[in-house]
Structure 1
C-alpha cells in the first residue's frame, strides 16, 4: 500500500515517519507539510519524495497517514477520503462534532478504510486487557487519571498552539475515552465537568451499561506525578489497566497493520473514524459543561 505522510511536526518525525518507513507492508511514498522546508528535511531523512502540493501526493498514493493539528487534519482527511485514499488518522479526529462527522461521513461514502491512532488501543498488553474486561459483566465504576507534564516538563509538544488552546480535555481525553467505551459502553451523559489547576479537567460520566466513571485529565501535572492509570471495580473485583511495553512507533505499526486489514477485508476496525467521531461528540459535550452549558 503506497502511503503518504501529511505533517512534519514532532509527532510526525518521532512516530509516523519511522513507522511508515519501517513497515514491511507499506511503501512510504512521500511527505507533504505546511512548511515546505520541513517536508524536504523529513523526506530526505527517509529517502522519499517531498511534495509541495497535497493533491499531487494524494494522486500518487493508496493511503495517507495524518500527523497534523485536529483542525487541519479534519478537512484534509475529508479531501483524502473523497480522493479514495485510506486514512490513518491521529486523535482527536477533530475539535468540533461537525468536523468529525464530516470525516466519518466522507470515509463511509467513499468506502475507504479508516483507523484512528489511540496509542493505548494499539499496545499489546492494554489491548488484551481491554478485550478481557469488555467480556466481563457487572462493572460498577471506573476511575481514571491521564496526567501529562507537557506544559511543566521538557516536552517537544509544549509549543503546540492547539494543545495550548484546547488543553488536556482534547489531548489526553481521547486516550481515556478510547479505553473506557469498549468496557463500560457509550457515554449517555456527561454528568459533571469541572476545571482544576491550569488545564486540568475533572469529568463524571454515565455509561450505557449503567456504570459511572470519573476522569482527571491534565497536561500541567508536575513531572514526578505524570502518568496514566485506570481502575475498574465491579462484580469481577478490581482490575487495573496494565502498562504498555511498546513505544509509539511499535504501536503505530500495529495501527498500520489494522488499516491494511480493514482495507483488504472491508470490515471496519473498532477504532475507525466513526468511533473517533463519538469520542469527539463526548468531548464537545464535556467542553459545553465546562462552559456552563448543559451537556448531553
Structure 2
C-alpha cells in the first residue's frame, strides 16, 4: 500500500512520519502540508517526495494518513475518500457532527476503509484490557480521568490553535470515550456537564447498558497531577485500566496494520470513521450542555 502523509506539525513529525517510514507493509510515498517548507523538511528527512498540491499526492497513493487539526482533517478526508483512497485519521474525526457525517458518507460511497487513531485502542495492554472488560457483564459505573499538562508545561502542542479553542473536551475526551463505549455501550444522553478550572470539564454519561460514567478532562492540570486512569466497578468487582509500555509510534504501527487488514478484507475496524463519528456526536452533545448551562 502506498501511503501519503497529510500534515507536518509536532504530531506528524513525532508519531506519524516515523510509523509510516518504519512499517514494512506500506510504502511511505510523500508528504503534503499547509506549509510547503515544513513538508519539504519532513520529506527530506525520510527520503520521500514533498507535494505542494494535495491532489497530486492523492494521485500517487492508495491511502492517506492525516495529522491535521480536525476541522481541516474532515474536508481533506472527504476529498481523499472521493479519490478512492483509504483513510488513517486522527481523533477527533471532526469538530461537528455534520463534518463527521460527511466523512463517513464519502468513505461509504467510495467503498474505502478507514481507521481513526484512538491511542489506547492500539496499545497492547489497554486494548487487551478493554476487550476483557467488554466481555464482563454487570458493570455498574465507571470513572475516567484524562488529565493533560499541555498548557501548563513546555508541551509542543501548547501552541496548537485548535486545542486552545476547543480544549480538553475535544482533545482528550475522545480517548476516554474510546475506552468507555466498548465496555459500557453507547451513550444515551449526557446527563450533566460542568466547567472546572481553565479548560477542565466534568461529564456524567448515561450508557445503553444502564451503567453511568463520570469523566474529568483537562489540558491544564499541574504537571505533577497529569495522567490518565479508568476505573470500572460492578458485579465482578473493580477493574483498573493498565498503563502502556509503549509509545505512540508502536501504537500507530498497529493502526496501520488495522487499515491494511480492513482494506484487504473489506471488514470495518471497530475504530473506523463511523465510530469516530459517534464519538464526535457525543462530544457535540456535551459541548451543547456546557454551552447552554443545563445540568
TM-score, length-scaled by structure 1: 0.99
Partner of 2:148: 148
Corresponding position: 1:91 with 2:64 = no
Corresponding position: 1:161 with 2:176 = no
Q: After superposition, what is the alpha-carbon deviation per residue over 1:136-182, rounded to whole angstroms, capped at 9, x for unaligned? A: 00000000100000000110000000000000000000000000000
Partner of 1:103: 103
1:44 shift after superposition: 0.1
Q: After superposition, what is the alpha-carbon deviation per residue over 1:113-140, rounded to whole angstroms, capped at 9, x for unaligned? A: 0000000000000010000000000000
Q: Following the alignment from structure 1 to structure 2, what is the Cα–Cα distance between the partners of residues 113 and 281?
A: 21
Pairing 1:159-198 to 2, within 5 Å after superposition: 159-198=159-198
Q: Following the alignment from structure 1 to structure 2, what is the Cα–Cα distance between the partners of residues 186 and 105?
A: 21
Q: Following the alignment from structure 1 to structure 2, what is the Cα–Cα distance between the partners of residues 188 and 171?
A: 21
Q: Following the alignment from structure 2 to structure 1, what is the Cα–Cα distance between the partners of residues 237 and 104?
A: 37
Corresponding position: 1:43 with 2:43 = yes
1:7 shift after superposition: 0.2
Partner of 1:64: 64
CA 1:294–1:111 in 2, change beyond 3 Å: closer, same or farther?
farther
Q: After superposition, what is the alpha-carbon deviation per residue over 1:3-42, rounded to whole angstroms, capped at 9, x for unaligned? A: 0000000000000000000000000000000000000000
Pairing 1:1-296 to 2, within 5 Å after superposition: 1-292=1-292
Q: Following the alignment from structure 1 to structure 2, what is the Cα–Cα distance between the partners of residues 155 and 223?
A: 10
Q: Following the alignment from structure 2 to structure 1, what is the Cα–Cα distance between the partners of residues 122 and 247?
A: 10
Q: After superposition, what is the alpha-carbon deviation per residue over 1:191-222, rounded to whole angstroms, capped at 9, x for unaligned? A: 00000000000000000000000000000000
Alignment check: 8 A CA contact 2:149 2:220 kept: yes
Alignment check: 8 A CA contact 2:64 2:80 kept: yes
- Indicate the RMSD between aligned Cα atoms, in angstroms: 0.8
Count the aligned residue pairs. 295
Partner secondary structure for residue 242 of structure 2: coil
1:293 shift after superposition: 6.2
1:294 shift after superposition: 6.1
Q: After superposition, what is the alpha-carbon deviation per residue over 1:247-289, rounded to whole angstroms, capped at 9, x for unaligned? A: 0000000000000000000000000000000000000000000
Q: Unpaired segments of 5 or more residues in structure 2?
A: none
TM-score, length-scaled by structure 2: 0.99
Q: Following the alignment from structure 2 to structure 1, what is the Cα–Cα distance between the partners of residues 210 and 245?
A: 32
1:292 shift after superposition: 1.3
Q: Following the alignment from structure 1 to structure 2, what is the Cα–Cα distance between the partners of residues 168 and 135?
A: 29
